[in-house]
A and B are shown apart, each in its own frame.
Chain A
Amino acid sequence: MEKLFFLMFAAVAIASGLAVVTVRNPVHSALALIVCLIQVAALFVLLRSPFLAAVQIFIYVGAVMVLFLFVVLILDMRKAVLQAFPPVKKRFVVGVILVLSAQMVAFVFLTPMGLGPAQGWEPTVESIGRVLFTKYLFPFEVVSVILLAALVAAIVIAKERQ
């Protein structure tokens, strides 16, 4: 039963992921990305991590994608639809794809990932919070500093344009 659900969500996720890059209209491809992110959230639920699923929907679908759409809507749509993909050399594209897929394959085969949810460790909100603020405190702080820097940079760039 669970396998069936996994296959369903995974299939839709891959299909919508493909749609993101193949569909011509930017708004449609943003919609496909939303579908893809929701499927990933569903996969988190199957992995017994409701917290991650809720956060995935909250942040990516609820906030990041809305801002994406916001920017896309302001663009000149007809021009964007007609334009082909940005003029980049084919060799470069192939190279990037190869490097990324090599990374992905290495990640899948070299990390000790199981097929099901991790045993003996219940990913509740409390346990995630505790681990985040004890074992991974330093990376957590580094990430927040990077985010803060990005925020400041975004404000500076926006201010300069005025």
Chain B
Amino acid sequence: MNLDQELKFIGDELEKMFSLTREFLRRSLVYYLSDGSERFDARIDDAMVNACERNVEAWCLSILLREKVYAADLRRVTGCLKLVTDIERIGDHARDIKDATEKLKSLGTSQGLDRAATQALVDFVLRMYDDAVRGFVRYDVALAEEVASHDNEVDEMYEKLLADLIAKTKDGVVSAEYAIYTSLVYKYLERIADHAVNIAEWTVFIKNGFHKDTVII
């Protein structure tokens, strides 16, 4: 394989990883939003995502070892090497949400919690992830920058949900144990959004060498 073919292979592998992670995340969230009543489809797990990550890392490192990569190629290889970690972390969080849902399932239902706001956060985070992926696949800097700009909105949604959860815990609407696991799920969603922002920021880096308004190379 020449360098172009190798770079294409890495891109293909990342797209496969994006799809796997996205589907894993969707299944975990469906499971969570149904309070565990929907059956969790376990045909995708984070081991599959991890295998893709190893593959991408191995190819990137192998290119750095063998080839003299400069300019756009260097940004592409190093950028992929960085953002692959974020995709893998999203896979971990998908598993975490599934695990937390299993705990919550054993503790009762989410009666009394603001499910519409939770659904809104879920939709927002998934849209950010999808846009981050689209931005990467098309090397669309404008779309990537838009994703990065949503970071604060997610934080606000997360803070509101947390405040609602605290209030309802104090009022005795939900148990402390239930609240702890629910807050974990909120945190995972907020972290997934952060990783989507990271993917978007590395996309900008791959395109023009900037990362968070700092010239890396």
Q: Do A and B bind each other?
A: no
Interface residues of B (CB under 8 A from A): none
Interface residues of A (CB under 8 A from B): none
